[in-house]
Amino acid sequence: MKKVVAFMGSPRKNGNTATLVQEVIRGAQDAGAETTVFTLSDMNIKPCQGCLVCRKTGQCVMQDDFQNMFQHIIDADVVVFGSPIYLWQISAQMKLLWDRLCGLFDENHKPRYAAKSVIMVYSQGNPNAQAFQASFQTNETMLKIFNLNVVATVLATAGNDPNTAANHKELLAKAYEAGKTI
């Protein structure tokens, strides 16, 4: 049975990112996967302190909710990262998590774990789907260094209304399919 872990990086618990992550998860469950969802704004996750111990040991020295989330990533076949676009990039909630992931590679930037698939979910206010593609590409390139390979990206545009995604049938279907085809 495939294991899927999702991280929801919007503080709006009924917003577009949450809706689309739920659809991805629904698809994954229908495909028979075991799923776990973490809402990052509910987590106690401190900012990386830059000690670099994780590069040597693979483990973060800080004992907070990250430890459990990190173990879920290590155990997962598929990782879902969902974030609203805040100032052209992921939210601070997601950045806290991503900075803490450096234990996924060693001192020579060699990944410690086998490749995993990643489904990215974004929601942005801008109606232009092209607006932040450069940021999405940067994130995809960065995640590869951890052996995390983006296989699907689901993007809500014109998402200041928290119900935009819920009212967008094709987008919901795209999110569901991304989860179903893991």
Ligand X SMILES: Cc1cc2nc3c(=O)[nH]c(=O)nc-3n(C[C@H](O)[C@H](O)[C@H](O)COP(=O)(O)O)c2cc1C
Which residues of this protein are in contact with ligand X, per CB under 6 A? Answer: 10, 12, 15-17, 84-88, 123-126, 156, 159-160, 162
Q: Give least dist CB 22 to ligand X, A.
A: 11
Q: In this complex, which beta carbon is closest to ligand X, that of residue 155 or of residue 182? A: 155
Q: In this complex, which beta carbon is closest to ligand X, that of residue 15 or of residue 103? A: 15
- Among candidate residues 182, 175, 180, 161, the one with its CA nearest the CA of residue 20: 175
Q: Give least dist CB 106 to ligand X, A.
A: 34
- Among candidate residues 26, 142, 41, the one with its CA nearest the CA of residue 84: 41
Q: In this complex, which beta carbon is closest to ligand X, that of residue 20 or of residue 45? A: 20
Q: In this complex, which beta carbon is closest to ligand X, that of residue 62 or of residue 158? A: 158
Q: Give least dist CB 26 to ligand X, A.
A: 17
Q: Which two tokens stand for residue 125?
A: 């206010």
Q: In this complex, which beta carbon is closest to ligand X, that of residue 84 or of residue 103? A: 84
Q: Rounded CA gap, 81 and 126, in Å?
A: 20
Name the pairing type of β-strands 3-8 and 148-156: unpaired
Q: In this complex, which beta carbon is closest to ligand X, that of residue 58 or of residue 125? A: 125
Q: Give least dist CB 24 to ligand X, A.
A: 13
Name the strand (E) or helix (H) holding 179: helix 169-180
Q: Please, which residues have CB within 8 angstroms of residue 39's CB and are 6 or more apart in sequence?
A: 8, 13, 18
Q: Give least dist CB 122 to ligand X, A.
A: 8
Whether residue 21 contacts residue 78, with contact meaning beta carbons closer than 8 Å, is answered with no
Q: Give least dist CB 149 to ligand X, A.
A: 24
Q: In what order do the strands lie in the sheet with 78-84?
A: 34-39, 3-8, 78-84, 116-123, 148-156
